[in-house]
Structure 1
């Protein structure tokens, strides 16, 4: 289960298919160095994405 406190790196390393979900929300830089340490919540805030919608999609 993906949580808001997980980093993008953790999510993508655990399941590479989640990169496509993140990109569909406008997060094109899922592999860049800063994304490796950025949490899902931080990324949602930076990109102006609804956190609940993102988590729902990541946990399908």
Structure 2
């Protein structure tokens, strides 16, 4: 199963499955196509946008866990 970490970029995660976009959107990360999505780590994005990193990672990994069933 694919495991999302704080060091990955948003684009690395989106490249695994574009349907995960709604999880990022739910957490307030709306600029999925901006240059930052390819360069900035998920940890950095969460920090900049005031998002709880642990909750975001849990939701992202839950998405991939459900997809693998």
Shorter-chain TM-score bucket reads: over 0.9
Structure 1: 4+ residue segments shifted above 4 A: none
Per the normalisation by structure 2, the TM-score is 0.82
Per the normalisation by structure 1, the TM-score is 0.93
- For these two proteins, the number of residue pairs brought into alignment is 60
Whole-angstrom CA distance in 2 between matches of 1:18 and 1:46: 20
Q: Which runs of 5+ in 2 are unaligned?
A: 63-69
Identify the residue that residue 42 of structure 2 maps to in structure 1.
40
Q: Which runs of 5+ in 1 are unaligned?
A: none
Whole-angstrom CA distance in 2 between matches of 1:17 and 1:46: 24
Aligned Cα root-mean-square deviation (Å): 0.7
Identify the residue that residue 18 of structure 1 maps to in structure 2.
20
